[in-house]
Amino acid sequence: MAGLNETPKGDRIHIAFFGLRNAGKSTLVNALTGQDVAIVNAKPGTTTDPVSKAMEILPLGPCLLTDTAGLDDDEGELGALRVRKTLDVLATTDVAVWVAAAGDDAAKAKFLAACAARKVAVLTYVRGEPVEELKRKIAELKLGDEPHPLVSDLVEKGDFVVCVCPIDSAAPKGRLILPQQQVVRELLDAGATAVVCRETELAATLARLGAGAVKFVITDSQAFGVVAQVVPPDLPLTSFSIVFARAKGDLAVFCRGAAALGNLKDGDTVLISEGCTHRRQQCEDIGTVKLPRWLQEHTGKKLTFAWTSGGQFPDDLSPYAAVVHCGACMLTRRMVQERIARCVKAGVPIVNYGVAIAACHGIVAAPDTCMVKRSPRG
């Protein structure tokens, strides 16, 4: 199991603390972590933005604790923004802890209704109760969302899987990107053998391993066009982004979204949403350069594009004809599911990077197997 500092935020149990101003939320977070994570002061409204800290709560596992601003902040427009930021935290919250205070009955009832609508587990803490008792209650929670494997259910012990990891100017220096790391680790945990190469060495790697030796090939989606020409039609092929789509999203919805890309018209706006924030490469960036180019080539239309990153995702989806979402390695499954549900409710097609890029190269993802379907090479 990965150590505390090695567990990505998207794979942690998210525990957030809510209540009125000066209820004792920050004091409780500091007591739980044993550190001065949040600023504590008698003045109401000291916490103005969500503050998070990673920790381990056994037997629950790696967690992310988040302190929030008071839900009764009524100090004009700024106070309203703070309350909105606090409620936005619910999108990623697995366990909500209501820190009780005198006269909070109405606010608590409204908050509990919001949690029920999102199927968020709720615990109540009253100031003065033992913190260790709260830890025990958190650790004993049975959360409904079971872990979703990336690839471990697709292999058996002893299988060989070839992982194609391009190294270009957009690749992080000295390491693999997180989806590649996680897939390789899961293959190793399952007793399979991960053979890692670049797309330029793929043909030689497959020839050296021999016909029939490889269970399937998994590639970075950006290399789909090249890799699909090298991998024999009878050898299953998928991408890191597609297996993340299956584990964290809804592959069937994404496949319908890919099909809907063909309905885009000149002037339509496509939202490209990434779950992390990084410095973009002017010539190689996937979200701002490659995807817009591939989508316009695929549709033959003059499209406009908008972008969001990190925890940002628009409340109003009406300006967009489609949403193309990243693989979400840095987001929780709960957050991805919520974004999908909002798109479906708004009638806006949503597709993730891997499924979209495959479609742009004439490759169709199969939701039942998470592999892609390709025409035989001529």
Which of 79, 110, 139 terminates a domain? The answer is 139
Q: At 36, is the pLDDT very low, low, confident or very high (cuts 50, 70, 90)?
A: low
Q: Is residue 370 part of a domain?
A: no
In terms of domains, do 131 and 254 share one?
no
Q: At 43, is the pLDDT very low, low, confident or very high (cuts 50, 70, 90)?
A: low
In terms of domains, do 233 and 170 share one?
yes
Q: What pLDDT score does 4 carry? A: 44
**266 or 376: which carries more pLDDT confidence?**
266
**292 or 139: which carries more pLDDT confidence?**
292
**Residue-averaged pLDDT of the chain:** 86
Q: Is residue 146 part of a domain?
A: no
Q: Structural domain tally of the chain?
A: 3
Q: Is-contact 169 290, C-beta < 8 A?
A: no
Domain span at 121 = 4-139
Burial class (CB in 10 A: 0-12, 13-18, 19+), 297: exposed
In terms of domains, do 231 and 259 share one?
no
In terms of domains, do 265 and 220 share one?
no
Q: At 144, is the pLDDT very low, low, confident or very high (cuts 50, 70, 90)?
A: low
Q: For the ranges 7-11, 72-76, 275-279, which has the lowest average pLDDT?
A: 275-279
Is residue 44 scored above 80 in pLDDT? no
Q: Is residue 373 part of a domain?
A: no
In terms of domains, do 218 and 234 share one?
yes
Q: CA of 255: how far to CAs of 193, 201, 229, 366, in Å?
A: 29, 30, 22, 8
Q: Which residue has the tokens 């584990």?
A: 247
The residues near 60 (Cβ < 8 Å, ≥ 6 apart) are: 13, 138, 139, 141
Q: Is residue 262 part of a domain?
A: yes
In terms of domains, do 289 and 233 share one?
no
Q: Write the pLDDT tens digit of every residue in 197-253.
A: 999 999 999 999 998 999 999 999 999 999 999 999 999 999 999 999 999 899 999
In terms of domains, do 292 and 217 share one?
no
Mean pLDDT of 162-168: 90
Q: At 263, is the pLDDT very low, low, confident or very high (cuts 50, 70, 90)?
A: very high
In terms of domains, do 133 and 189 share one?
no
Q: What pLDDT score does 41 carry? A: 54
Question: Where residue 341 sits, what CATH number does that domain have?
Answer: 3.40.50.11410
Question: Where residue 54 sits, what CATH number does that domain have?
Answer: 3.40.50.300
Is residue 118 scored above 90 in pLDDT? no
Share of the chain above pLDDT 90, in %: 51
Q: Write the pLDDT tens digit of every residue in 69-86.
A: 888 877 777 777 888 888
Is residue 187 scored above 90 in pLDDT? yes
Which of 139, 174, 207 terminates a domain? The answer is 139
Mean pLDDT of 98-123: 90
d(CA 13, CA 143): 9
Which of 115, 139, 163 terminates a domain? The answer is 139
In terms of domains, do 52 and 133 share one?
yes
Q: What pLDDT score does 220 carry? A: 93
Q: Is residue 367 part of a domain?
A: no
pTM for this predicted structure: 0.76
Q: Is residue 190 part of a domain?
A: yes
Q: For the ranges 48-62, 130-144, 224-238, which has the lowest average pLDDT?
A: 48-62
In terms of domains, do 203 and 270 share one?
no
Q: Is residue 328 part of a domain?
A: yes
Q: Is residue 168 part of a domain?
A: yes
Is residue 42 scored above 80 in pLDDT? no
In terms of domains, do 295 and 225 share one?
no
d(CA 12, CA 9): 5
